[in-house]
Amino acid sequence: MMRWTAVMLMLGWQTADGGVIRAGDGRSVVQAVEMAAAGDTVIVPQGTYAEGNILIRKPLTVLGENMPVMDGRMKDEIFTIAAEHVTIDGFRIINTGRSSMEDLAGIKCLDAHHAVIRNNIFENTFFGIHISNSDHSTISNNKLSSSAEFEYQLGNGIHLWKCKHALIEGNEVTGHRDGIYFEFVTLSFIRKNISQKNMRYGLHFMFSHDDAYEDNVFRNNGAGVSVMYTRHVKMHRNVFEDNWGSSSYGLLLKDISDSEVIGNRFTGNTSGIYMEGTSRTVFDGNLFRQNGWAIKLMASCDGNSFNRNNFSGNTFDISTNGALVLNSMSHNHWDKYEGYDLDRDGIGDIPFHPVSLFSVISEHIPSAMLIWRSFLVFLLDRAEKVMPAVTPANLKDDNPMMHAHDLG
């Protein structure tokens, strides 16, 4: 009922500047789209349509009534949009063809600025939504799922290439190659999406400056989330969890600069954050809980600051691959901290060294992990704490907090 009212409202509003064309009753969607003039609304009633590719070359609003099914019969691309101001709303888009040559998609936008794609369900698609060279697109409240045995048989869920001012909001992506893929996409927002169980990355991000992604959940993806070759990215309040595997990271940062990682939760990942070549980035108010390695900080990172984060129940808090330390840490809470606070200002009086000897050992000899938590390892770690010989002595938090921060 709500939905119907919404459609009616849309109709009333649309008729102000355009006509309404209904598909169905012997009229195909392709015919309806052809008949419509620029600015019209095309309504597709409930039903199953397998009409091959539907090419839209004029500004149109295409509305599905009670989720009509658009079936690609495992060979077609379904909607192809090559015009500005096109809206696709309320469809169930299934079974696109699979072709790595043509990147077949459920909905593809080519040079289509101001596209709106919302409230659709994508099932068993190669690429779900594929947008290139289109600015100001809005992709919201879609559900995308796909599956395949191998990675090369899948495309990305939401794929953007060379776009500006995009808004990706409230979508759910599962079982694709990359959940959300950004390449050369600038000044854009990714908000409140859930990206999980994708075969490669939950979010894949390259050369995409000045973007923000906030309040998303990235869970159980093959390789976690990767953000590369980008500056000025804001990563706020996201959840990165259960990304398991030797090359799987909650968040992989490679050649990132002047960015923010604030208020995120990293839980149960093999590596919470893996960072190399990262500069001048702020890590503030994040929670790292029950990760194998909370942060793998490579020596190629410089000028980063880690403040007011909570570390609890991680196997290793921080590991690094060199003695050079160009980053600062302050006011974090480390559950492994064993110092005291005589002046009772809530800050520990002796510094905390988050790199343990055994994390260095297991970096060199991975199978040594099997004697982790043995009495011997305990003694070795203790000895190293007293006289640091292997671990970098100046990688430390001079103001460790006695109590965990309240991160909400």
Partner 1 sequence: MPRIIKYILYDILRTRFILFYTLFLLLSAVGMYQLDSDTSKVVLSMMNIVLIVVPLVSIVFTTIHFYNSYEFIELMLAQPVNRTVVFLSQYLSVALSLLLAYTVGIGLPMVFYGTEASGLTLILSGAMLTLVFVSLAFLSAVLTRDKAKAIGVALLFWFYFSLIFDAFVLWILYSFSDYPLEKVTVALIALNPVDLARILMILQLDVSALMGYTGAFFKDFFGGGMGFAFATGVLLLWVAVPLGLAMRVFKRKDL
CA–CA dist 190, 161 (Å, integer)? 14
Q: Which residues contact 153 (CB under 8 A, 6 or more apart)?
A: 98
Q: Residue 147's CB: how many other CB atoms inside 10 A?
A: 13
Buried b (16+ CB within 10 A) or exposed e, 110-125: eebbbbbbbbbbbbbb
Q: Could you tell me the CA-to-CA distances from 252 to 61, 158, 205, 210, 270 in Å, in that order? A: 39, 19, 10, 18, 12
The verdict on 28 binding partner 1 (CB under 8 A) reads: no
Q: Which stretch binds partner 1 (CB under 8 A): 54-62, 145-153, 174-182, 265-273?
A: 265-273
Residues 37-56 that bind partner 1 (CB under 8 A): none
Does residue 222 bind partner 1 (CB under 8 A)? no
Find the shortest distance in angstroms from Cβ 71 to partner 1.
Answer: 38
383 binds partner 1 (CB under 8 A): no
CA angle 227, 122, 22 (to 5 degrees): 130
Task: Kindly write out the interface string for residues 121-160 of this chain, putting x where it contacts partner 1 by CB under 8 A and - elsewhere.
Answer: ----------------------------------------
Whichever of 65 and 241 has its CB closer to partner 1, that residue is 241
Q: Which is nearer to partner 1, 35 or 379 (CB)?
A: 379
**Residue 292 in contact with partner 1, rule: CB under 8 A:** yes
Q: Which of 345, 374, 385, 394 binds partner 1 (CB under 8 A)?
A: 374
With respect to partner 1, which residue has the nearer C-beta, 89 or 242? 242
Stretch that binds partner 1, among 18-26, 251-259, 287-295, 341-349 (CB under 8 A): 287-295
Tell whether residue 229 is a contact of partner 1 (CB under 8 A).
no
The residue type found at 183 is E
Distance CA 130, CA 194 (A): 18
C-alpha to C-alpha distance for 208 and 356, rounded to whole angstroms:
35
Q: What six digits make up the tokens of 28?
A: 């195909």
Q: Which residues bind partner 1 (CB under 8 A)?
A: 244-248, 268-271, 290-293, 312-313, 315-316, 335, 361, 364-379
